[in-house]
A = this chain, B = another copy of it.
Amino acid sequence: MMKRIAVFTSGGDAPGMNACIRAVVRTAVYHGIEVYGIMRGYSGMVKGEFVKLDSASVSNTIQKGGTILKSARSQSFQTREGRQLAFDQLVNHGIDGLVAIGGNGTFTGATLFEQEFGIPIVGAPGTIDNDLYGTDYTIGYDTAVNTALEAIDKIRDTADSHDRCFFVEVMGRDSGYIAIPCAIGGGAEIVMIPETQLSTEAVIETLRSGRNRSKTSFLVVIAEGDEEGNAHEVARQVKAAIPQLDTRVTVIGHIQRGGAPSAADRMLASQIGIAAVEGLMNGMHNVMAGIVDRKLVYTPFADTIHKRKLINQSFMRMVEILNA
């Protein structure tokens, strides 16, 4: 039986992490379980940066971006000695179980740690990238997309006013999850994502054909991980091919990680925070809590790490139909 648990955030921060921490804390308190926060992820676990949390500790945090528990990389935790130190800290603080909020890097560490030391860990998918198997959406994804889309709406104003072609780079090193709704919702003519093989030549062709149909302004959304290289490089090649095109580049960047979480992210983070604690109470471990088709599911870390969540292929067709 769980008497005391700890929660931490790890990897890139995501809007809604605080809402998830809050849900973990309040759920633990609700069930009479003590709860600690570990500062700076595995790094703070190794160093013993533990903070006792209660209901009041998380008051007024649900709307805050970032993570009040902070996040950091830990070289030490990647060694057996470091993980031993981390485990000793948990023992010293009487921790029975862990809630790990983060992405695949976080869960990979958790898997190894649980294997070696047997401490039960339940994960919560906290990353803006949405590329985690085992949940339809990750915490932070909806907010990041809305932030990027608001930026794109503003860029559209200036693109239209100047008859320009804008290349907008959004986050997503390995997937087009952020790029796709930005392109569809932003009315982009073209979207370049890691999952497809759209060549710069094809982009140039599409822009040429648009110009022939008298289109004067264009928006190309590019996921940062596209193999054709980043927005600056694509823009350079396009400009070389169509010199009359007035090209501009915007890299939306880190603002996608911040800001108050959207309603959907607050709901998701709250549901998953509750599920993580109640999962631990019910003997779950080595799993990530997620929501699939509006139902709560627990997926083994091994699957979240190794299985690929494929992007809906129909979305590419939507861009073709809608933004022609």
Contact = CB atoms under 8 A, between A and B. Distances in A.
B254 A250 contact: yes
A145 B29 CA distance: 28
B259 A153 contact: yes
A72 B156 contact: no
Interface residues of A, number: 76
Task: Count copies of this chain in the complex.
Answer: 4
Interface in A58-77: 59-60, 62-67, 70-72
Contacts of A157: 13, 15, 64-66, 257-259
Interface string A66-93: 1100111000000000000000000000
A135 interface: no
A186 B261 CA distance: 11
14 contacts: A23-B322, A26-B323, A60-B187, A62-B185, A65-B154, A66-B160, A142-B264, A153-B260, A155-B258, A157-B258, A181-B266, A185-B263, A274-B321, A294-B312
Interface of A: 9, 13, 15, 19, 22-23, 26-27, 29-30, 40, 55, 59-60, 62-67, 70-72, 136, 142, 145-147, 149, 151, 153-158, 160-163, 166, 181-182, 184-187, 248-255, 257-264, 266-267, 270-271, 274, 293-294, 312, 318, 321-324
